[in-house]
Every structure is written in structure tokens, then in C-alpha cells.
Structure 1
Amino acid sequence: MLVLAAPAAVWAQAAAEPNTALGPQPPLTPLLQQLTAREFSQRQQAVNQLRQFAGSVNGLQQLGSALAANPAPEVARRILEVLEHHFSVTDSSTPEICATADILEQAALAKRWDIAETSSQILDRLWTTRVNVAVAELVRLKAPLQPKDPRLLWQEYGPDAAPGFALNPNSNSILRIYIDEHWPESPRAFELLKRLSGMGRFGRISIYSIQGNSLTAEQKSTLKSLFGDTRVQERGRVCLGILQEPFFGEDSGVLIGSVEKNSSADKAGLQGGDLITSMNDQPLQDFDDLVTRLKECQVGQQIRLEVTRSQQRQRLQRMLNPAQLPPEPPPAAPAKREVVVTLQGWYPPDPTEN
């Protein structure tokens, strides 16, 4: 049986009365009985009146309770049709669509196969709406994430972009979740996080589990099973702000592919093509070694990086387009330089918080 528990933080602002623009709301019980009437006109009239219940949280809760009461298949089908239509056309920030999302999520777990299957299919079909609603509520709960406006997720590349499409990991097309000590303590936040699983299927989410968070081992395992190991990354409190590029040289180090704007690395003058060979006078083996070392650092701390300019990119360009570049000059020892980096956190502080 479904148990409908409305999150008080979301629905507290909702009016209990039906939307008067839709007319007076009829009693639900006789209306549901009419859905199985023998006459088509009577059934159709009941369907039209049923839509009025989607105009308020109170009406939606009544529909959810009716769905939980093991109704006749035709009644369940009609209620789910109303919920799907409402879920597809309503703004993602309203209390009503939050109520609709909760009903569908809980109905997807129902013991009744037809209700559970249909609800799951609705959530799959409208997976971007599911994401938008979850992100909007996570923002209201002050969960650290970017972008905060879910509409930006689909601005550059629509939801139909094929899985594995080459997206910039730092662009708004990728949802970035930062689970740190500021992550909301409410269990609701973790439930909303699980609703973002559709983003994992399309490679459009990165979850950073940052030192100091309160996630249990079981919760971390749940996230990895939903999103995949590569999408859930363990990190320290500081972020250098670089993306590594595959390094085909024999030497050790970290080859920078790109640098995030306004990051620690960007402000220190690092750029794509730089090869980091040591940190605080200790040689770096690879990117994992760098991540491990950074876990020992704190926000505001300064580190020293020894950097050389990698010749790998130019060599690759010569291999791909030999006629467009001059002959490779005799190899020379690359100039080394020391770069002092002041480490920042993973995201800028929220100016609205004290």
C-alpha cells in the first residue's frame, strides 16, 4: 500500500482550497464510481471533472490516496492519466508538481503491478521533468550543486543528446552535485538525489563525495549503483580545477587537458597542455596521486607545482596533419617553472547565506 507523506517544506505554501479557476471541486468518491459507469458520456464527464483535482495540492493528495486504496484498474488508469498530463505541463517549481512527483514516485513502488509499471513508465518518459523537479527542490533545500536553474541543463544540448556525447564536464549541460559538510541533513535530500538517476544514463551528472560529508557507506554504495562508479568521485575539500588529458609519454606526471574558468589553477596561470611533474617538491606519478595529495590540503592553503610545457599536443597534430605544420625541431629540454597555487573549494560560497 502506498503511504503519501507530503514534505512540509515544499507544501507548506500551498493553498488547501482547489483552484477556483477550474470551478468548484466535486466530491471524489462518486466521481471515481462514475469512471466505471456503463454509459460513455457519464465516464467522459467524470474524466473531465477528475482533472480539477490536479489544480491543488489538496486535490492531488486525494488522487494519491485514491490510487493507494487499490482501485479498479480503469480508475487507476484514469488517475494516472491525469497525473501524467499534469506532470508534463506544470512548472517544475510549484508545490503542485512536487506533490505529483511524490505520488508517482511512491506509486512506482506499489505492490499492484499495473500501478507500479505505469507509474515507472511515466517517470521514464518524463525523465527530464523528474530531474527538473528534483533539482528545483534540492536548490530550495540549499544543496550545493550547479547549475541551480535546471532549465540551463537543456539549453546547449537537449535531452535527446546521445549517451556519451562529448560534453564539457564544466558546462551547464552537466549537473554537478557536491556532497560535503553543507549537504542538507534531511533524508529528503538523498531521496531527491536518487531521482536524478536518468542523468547517469546519459552521462550528464557528476557527483563529488567530498571529505567531511555525512553519507553512510550504504548510501555511497547506493549512489554508485545508480549512477556508476565513474560518476561518483571521492574528493578532498579543495578543487584544483583541471581536467586531465591522456598522457602517452613515458614520464610520470599529470597532463592538463583544460582548466576551469576562475578555478585555483586558472588564477595561478595554469593552462591546457601544461604537464605537472611535482607538488611541493615531491614527484607526481599520475592524476590519482594528485587527487590523493590534495585530500590532505585545506581551502586557502598554498601549494607549489613544478610545471613544464608538454609537446604532446603538437606532436599529435603533426601526426594527424603533417603538411600543415613545419618539421619538428630537434628535441630540447622543456623549460620548467614553479607555480604557486592558492587552493579554493569546489564551488563559490552562497552570498545569501551567513
Structure 2
Amino acid sequence: MSHTPVDRADLLTPHRDLHNESGALRGEHPGRSRNPVIKVADLAWLEFEKPDPDRAEVFARDFGFAIAARTERELWLRGTFAGSPCVVIRRGQTSRFIGTAFHAAERADLDRLARATGSDVRDIDVPGGGQSVALLDPSGFPVRVVHCAQQLPALSEQQPLVLNTGVGRRRTNATQRPPREPSRIQRLGHVVLETRVFMRALDWYLDTLGMIVSDFLFLDGQRGRGPTMAFIRCDQGSLAVDHHTLALHLGPGTGYVHSAYQVTDLDAIAAGGEYLAERGYRRSWGIGRHIQGSQLFDYWRDPDRFMLEHFADGDLFSCDLEPGWAPMSASGLAQWGPPVTRDFLGANPSPSRLREVMTALRGDNELDPARLLGLMKAMSS
């Protein structure tokens, strides 16, 4: 009996086709702007409204945030790294995501951005003080670009475990006993947003804030129509930064998908996950390792069903790497880990989701029946 030979490389790298190292084809999106207004340095914080700040603070502490400031109206959350807070929760009628804030590389960038957009530079009420320019992106999300007057000091860290790795015998006469405690958040890493006007939003972030694309995803059989998801990083020149600070994807809705917060290592993710599970919180998906960005990940839902991610060991890219191009698929979201859940994909049918689809198909946006069917196919492949 004859057998078809198996390429050993296929066994070792089952996802090798999911990142095209040759980059874009002729005429495809370059993934960066020729002359952006400014270049933001990093994501500063995310803004939410919630009716019950006390409940929000309990989850925040369990998830691993420290409290930077608390008033009757506002709760500012932070990580252990020096810098700005990474989340602000304001008291409101309903639980909702408000928008993002990015760090200006220098104070003069606020003036440059204000002139280019017809906006004003205004003082902001952030711990330590600061100024900002307030904008709206094409999806309607509020976007602040901020310059903080003072940095919050660093807090004590959750130390990484010393690992023995085969020939690397670094730990002797000592045991491993990671405590089952909250995964101590170090910093805000990225936010993912869904939009019906993907290309308009993408170009706005590249042209206005000087961000650059690390990876594009496209729908099977529709590459000629352009990408439907982009993982976008800040441009700090030769300094390597997170693979993505912002990710955008085309969809029937307009809103927050998830945000990600860096922790020390895999044991911090796993032990912190056990701590959350013991307190009745619901895991959405994890633990695993992504393909685009390579992060170790673990996704959870807070009491208001917002999705938050613990991550560690993400890719760092400098400005000279060009975008990768890959087909969008559910199986292409992770190198290893449990099967992706319908909850993570947002694939659970609901009346509100059906209303979003009907509204999007009737509206002036980038979603049409072919795009919608392509997205549905990708999320089941």
C-alpha cells in the first residue's frame, strides 16, 4: 500500500500560512500614513460608565488592578508600572464603554493636533493633572490624546518564577509554589473595537495618530476587497513596541470587544485565573497562545459582561517591520489552547445582535451581504 508522504514542516508549523512574510500584494494597503499629523506614543487609558462603582471596584481588585484614585463619581484603576492610570470608571445610568485615551509623545503634539483638527487643548481631571485634545473617530468613538503632568510611581511587582528549562538548570534545592492570588496587572496593553466603517476608521488612526499596522486579516475569497481586521501599533521608530495597541475589525456592531492587561508570566495568568474562578467569575476563553501578537492569553467577563484579557509574553515590533497578511478564521486565533468559544467570538445569537445586523445592512457603511457571509464563514472555520 502506498502512502502520500507527509511534510514534517507541516506537522511542526500547522499555521505557517497564516502570516505571509512577503507582505502586501501590489496595490494593497501599505499599513501606514505618509504624513501623519502626530505619532502617539502609547495607549493611556480606557473610559467606561457603570451604575455600581462599588461592584466594579471589587472585580477590579480581583482581576489584579490597583486603585489610583476614588471619588464619589470616578474610580481610577492602575497597574504596577510607573505612568498613568489605565482605566477610569465613571458613575452612569448604564454600563457602557465611552472611549480611549492615547499618550502624546510630547506636549507640543497636542497643539499640532488641535490646529489640524480644529479642536482645543483643555485641562483634564486625571490623577496628577494633565491636558488633552478630544476627538471623534469615524466610528463615533471618543478619542483623547493626552499629556499627563505627573507619572504615578511604580508599585511592587509580582516576580516571575525562576524556571528550569531542560539544560537551563536555574533553580535547585527550591520548589515552585505560586500563590493563588490576583494576577497583578502591570499595564494596559491594547483594546479591540468593532466598527461598520473599518477602512475609514483604520485610515483615521494612521493619518491622525501616526499608528502603523502589524498584521492585516482578510476574508477567504475576498482579499481583493481589502482587509477586514487590522492589528495596529504605535510608531516609536527603532524602539520595539507591542505588536498591537489597537485592533479594529469590521462587523455589524459599533463597540468595545475587549481590552488586554499585561501580567508577569504564565503562572500569574494561571494562578490568577484560579482565583477568579473560585470567586464565581466566568472565563470566556483560555488559556492559550495567540498567533498574531503571540501573547499568552486568558479572557474573562466582568459582572457587566465586559471582556478583559490577562496576557504575557507578547511580540514587540520596531517601525521597520511591514504588515503581515493572513486569512481570517476562528482556528487561526491561537497556536494552542482550548477551542475558541462562541462567547469570545460574539457568535451567540441575540435580539440585539440581529438588530445590529439589520441596521448595518440598511446603512451607509462597509458591511454588505457578501461581507457578512464571509465573516460568518470565517468565525466557523
- TM (norm. structure 2) is 0.24
**Greater radius of gyration (CA):** 1
Of Structure 1 and Structure 2, the greater helix share is in 1
Of Structure 1 and Structure 2, the greater strand share is in 2
- TM (norm. structure 1) is 0.25
Which of structures 1 and 2 has the larger relative contact order (alpha carbons within 8 angstroms, sep 6+)? 2
